[in-house]
Structure 1
């Protein structure tokens, strides 16, 4: 019973991960590499939790039978496996935060070297006891190179945090702050586990990170347009709500309203697949033109809003010049000609609230669109 109490946190964490894996298979597109990686990370940590639970029970001498070899084998597997989810977590973060498709390398790069060294030393340890040993009394003991698995885990954990900092502009500030707080949990859990070995909190804390990351991914899916991977109207409504609730400083906030011209004719002439391709190409061009710090939002159909913080009219004009240049380049080699109407504005005290601000831009854009149509008619 004491052993069950000692491992109850791991048992509950294992149950949580199994439910998370099941829900991922049901809700996520498993053709995506990022989703596959996430499920594989959860699966490996489930294996680690099982090994930790077994480790506790094989340390008991039942009827004077000592599980010395089994104890050593379980610890070996535990130390070999432990860095792998952290290594995979680096890849997952790179894909999820950068929004890029990650193509795994077949050759071993410098990034895999710590994993290889750790695994080789642990295999050698089965015979020569250089990392840990199991005494004749079936007790675990540190040896000269016991810190190797810890350094390997720390290397991948620190690197994943560096990825978080590097790609911080690709997800919302709130989510970044939340992830920063979550990253503290394993450090605290590790410190507690060093002081009180009976408290197995480390992998339970990492399970917590996975659960909340999954929640963030689900939230992101709700706020992302599945066709273009731009933000959607849900994100826009959330942004407006946040501005009103927290009285966010709107100085130097800029926004553009962009609507494609004659988009219906593309659908009618070439089909809806062609229309979808145009929308995806346009979002890629918008991202190149306005940069990572901008928020590209597809409001529906062929209408887009771009939110820019810490901007000015001069900066927006520069970005619009780049947009026009990229559109011209696209149109020169594509049979689908992209044309658009737009309007932009910088927030000022002339507006009563954020709603007036966006309504003003919307009206300006439709005026622009109407004038262009009137000019073509004449």
Structure 2
């Protein structure tokens, strides 16, 4: 019921799903299918009629063949979440399916040698002597993704980090419980609960994130800035950088709004690559973005701005877009003694950004004058 509700919600809200949503949907569908097969197995198990014996045998084979799918989807989901690279996901998927291929091969052989599972003369499902090997192959996915989440925690937002960890922990605990009590099916219930946790995290992300660029939205900026100013200690600094995409109207008018949207995505990606993991990046309005950062000194802000300019230069040198991306930048530092409100601090930084924009326009006008 949980999985069905999640599936219906996702399908009704996403006509064109992102890659990570597709992986998540594969996880949901494969888990639900396995649970249905598990129900059929439980119903047929122990009934000695020929019909039920055939059903039990067939369902058990299908069950073991399908078992690796949620693990594969989850592993690829975590990898894509961390790296945001579809090409990388396509490259590693062959590596990811190796444990699954071995598992399926062992299970098909088990029809003849009964090493992983078998159906006894009373039509009861039994584990074979090498069942532990098959379980180890499944757990290799959990161990691998768990290690990846922990090792790459600096690339993961704190709230998402704990959600991803929970997904890995709950199925492992359920699997251990199922190993102790073989009469109950705990594992897939555990995965369903974990899927619900991730779903709630996805929904929360859609509320707090800008739908086009994936960075935080204006609402989250207002909340974050007000809280940061309120909690700022006497010896702490808060930096703000306001970024405005130059010539955005010309990009839209010349190349179309789809390319204009792409320019905004490029801008967001440049910002994500340029700033630290804990820095708050949001889309403010239209083609304007805001970065808020907690600073130990003003030097931290200068280093981030220099890094941004270097990444912007590299983007324009390596991308094949028919236009160059450039920014108007305004930046300011907030100290507790300034006694500004969040709105006043934004306005203060915004004015500095528009001064930089005006200098850019003046340069363009001078160039055009001599053409």
Q: Which runs of 4+ in 1 moved over 6 A?
A: 371-378
The equivalent of 1:230 in structure 2 is: 215
Q: 2:131 aligns with which of 131, 146, 164?
A: 146
Cα offset, 1:90, TM superposition: 0.8
Cα offset, 1:125, TM superposition: 0.8
The equivalent of 1:9 in structure 2 is: none
The equivalent of 1:343 in structure 2 is: 330
CA distances 1:3-61 after superposition (whole Å, capped 9, x unpaired): xxxxxxxxxxxx22123222221112445332222222211111111122122211233
Are the counterparts in 1 of residues 213 and 265 from structure 2 also a CA contact under 8 Å? Answer: yes
Q: How many residues align?
A: 362
**In structure 1, C-alpha distance between the alignment counterparts of 2:341 and 2:175, rounded to whole Å:** 46
Equivalent residues in 2 for 1:187-266, closer than 5 Å: 187-240=172-225, 243=228, 247=231, 251=236, 253-266=238-251
**Mind listing any 5+ residue stretches in structure 2 that lack a counterpart?**
367-371
Q: 1:33 aligns with which of 9, 19, 39?
A: 19
The equivalent of 1:361 in structure 2 is: 349
Q: 2:40 aligns with which of 46, 54, 65?
A: 54
- Using the size of structure 2 for normalisation, the TM-score is 0.82
Change (3 A) 1:52 1:354: farther
SS at match of 1:57: helix
CA RMSD of aligned residues (A): 3.4
Change (3 A) 1:369 1:191: same
- Using the size of structure 1 for normalisation, the TM-score is 0.80
The equivalent of 1:75 in structure 2 is: 60
Cα offset, 1:317, TM superposition: 1.6
The equivalent of 2:115 in structure 1 is: 130
Matched, 1:19 2:5: yes
Equivalent residues in 2 for 1:248-287, closer than 5 Å: 251=236, 253-268=238-253, 271-287=256-272
Cα offset, 1:220, TM superposition: 1.8
SS at match of 2:86: coil
**Mind listing any 5+ residue stretches in structure 1 that lack a counterpart?**
1-14
Are the counterparts in 2 of residues 71 and 138 from structure 1 also a CA contact under 8 Å? Answer: yes
Are the counterparts in 1 of residues 334 and 345 from structure 2 also a CA contact under 8 Å? Answer: yes
Are the counterparts in 2 of residues 66 and 137 from structure 1 also a CA contact under 8 Å? Answer: no
